Structure 1
Amino acid sequence: MRGVSAEGMADSTKRLESLAADCDAEQLGAELFAIADLISREASLRRAMTDPSASTAAKSGLARAVLSGKVSEPTVEVLATAAGARWSSASDFVHGLEQLGALALVISAERAGELSELEDELFRFGRVVAGDPRLRDALTNQQMPLEHRQALVSTLLEGKASRPAVRLAVQAVGSRGRSFATAIEDSQELAAERQQRLIALVRTAIELNEQERARLGDALSRQYGRDIHLNVVVDPTVLGGIKVELGDDVIDGTVAGRLDDARRRMAG
């Protein structure tokens, strides 16, 4: 987000973090997701809460009037702060509420000491979906009712992943303005940011053992000056070596990469 939306997001995030310290963060996240869904459906409510001509007090008051007694008080206060802020567009407002809900769930995992597990659970499920065309098509098929697609995710993950991971994956199916894969990646990045570390996607022809992972993680940490969380994908097409993608940086030490480079030079 940019401009006034970035300011609104920053103010809302600060309010959420202060309230999450003394409330059920998982409940807060689930309720914010439900509110984002509601406001996305209700055009009149969405317009009223993002009306640039209305005062901060009026929009915050509307949020309290609509939801007081229906959700927890911390959720009402986060929504009131978000509604009172300025947003570049109504879609930014809804997306902001989704991001706030995701942050609350990440905070709940952090409290339980399960942030690393949450990152891994989201990554693994993202890879399962990416590697299964039928499942991917089922989750992205707009002809299928959203609640059915979300129920499918819940069924697949129930008992196999933490509650925050299940909620985040379910919400990713119906995320507005983002693909399922992007929504999952955004939640992973939120978890990484809470631990002040970066995420590296590593492609390798064979699985790395613990010592190899540790050496690679240490080398990348020294290079970037931050702790690094490795997401390792076994990809036989790389033939040998490894390829690391970290943000906009790509370090290609694979056999396939060297062969491609040689072909380009010969063709030139």
Structure 2
Amino acid sequence: MSNLLQTRLSELDGVLDSVQATPQVADELFAVVDLLDRQPALRRALTDPGADSGAREGLLQALFGHRLSEAATTVLRAAAGERWGTPSGLAAALERQAVRAVLSTAQQAGALDTVEDELFRFERLVAGDAGLRAAIGDRTAPLEARRRLVGDLLTGRADAATGMLAARAVGARERSFELTVAGYLTLAAALRQRALAKVVVARPLTPEQHDRLAAVLSRQLGREVSLQVVIDPEVIGGVQVTVGDEIIEGTVAGRLHDARRQLA
């Protein structure tokens, strides 16, 4: 992601943070995203760099008028006023804000920890089940049918926010279900001004090991860290930590790989 795009996304984050994030705002923004995804001509009209800003504003008014809440309208206008590089960039930016609205609402309800944990565990369940992973990722099947599958699996078993976000992630905005959920978890951590660290270990961490590792990473990064622990016997001991694009390799398998590479 370019620095310019990150700046624009951060500015739009600030717009959402300046209004009251509610489930209604999330639903409305998701509805706009779905409309944009279905209507390529509309995407182009709202992202045409040569179009007059007044014309885009008029189009927004004609399409949405008083159909959206003031908060959702504020976010939509701010997003449409930016240049996102591609027609699909506007929809992606709005979906980010819809996801943040869901997460913010969960945070206000004191349920963000639960939603984070449930999302991570469900993503791991999908990753470990080849049949389920194939069903969710099957682009030849209708998107709504795949979303209903996820909803059926989580209804009554997880927080409503978890079910909503898992279903949205089926659309694979970030190329795959796994990467899209990872993006959601990064946004959740950022809401609490935390870094998100993916930790791969051969065996489950004890509570003491978990807390010690979190403390070490927090000192290194200068802020609190949320750990997402993945069990993988192939690491052969040690721990591999990924924070953003940085990988901290401390596993026996990793050291053997480096040694073989140096000898090749």
TM-score (norm 2): 0.91
Q: 1:57 to 1:225 in 2, by over 3 A?
A: same
Alpha-carbon offset, residue 256 of structure 1: 2.6
Aligned residue pairs total: 264
Q: 2:133 aligned with 1:122, yes or no?
A: no
TM-score (norm 1): 0.89
Identity of aligned residues (%): 43
Q: 5+ unaligned residues in a row in structure 2: which ranges?
A: none
Q: 1:241 to 1:84 in 2, by over 3 A?
A: closer
Q: 2:220 aligned with 1:254, yes or no?
A: no
CA contact (8 A) 1:203 1:234 kept: yes
Aligned mates of 1:247, 1:190 — CA distance in 2 = 12
Alpha-carbon offset, residue 195 of structure 1: 1.0
Alpha-carbon offset, residue 108 of structure 1: 0.8
Aligned mates of 1:232, 1:7 — CA distance in 2 = 30
Aligned mates of 1:7, 1:58 — CA distance in 2 = 25
Runs of 4+ aligned residues of structure 1 deviating over 6 Å after TM superposition are: none
Q: 2:216 aligned with 1:205, yes or no?
A: no
2:222 aligns with 225
Q: 5+ unaligned residues in a row in structure 1: which ranges?
A: none
- RMSD between superposed Cα atoms in Å: 2.1
CA contact (8 A) 1:95 1:176 kept: yes
1:188 aligns with 185
Corresponding letter in the other structure for 1:209: T
Aligned mates of 2:255, 2:82 — CA distance in 1 = 51
Q: 2:13 aligned with 1:13, yes or no?
A: yes
Q: 1:215 to 1:6 in 2, by over 3 A?
A: closer
CA-to-aligned-CA distance 1:200-230 (integer Å, 9 cap, x gap): 1112221111111111111111122111111
1:148 aligns with 145
CA contact (8 A) 2:136 2:170 kept: yes
Aligned mates of 1:7, 1:222 — CA distance in 2 = 26
Q: 2:87 aligned with 1:90, yes or no?
A: yes
Aligned mates of 1:14, 1:36 — CA distance in 2 = 19
CA contact (8 A) 1:36 1:94 kept: yes
CA-to-aligned-CA distance 1:138-176 (integer Å, 9 cap, x gap): 011111110000111111111222222221111111144
CA contact (8 A) 1:26 1:164 kept: no
Corresponding letter in the other structure for 2:51: A
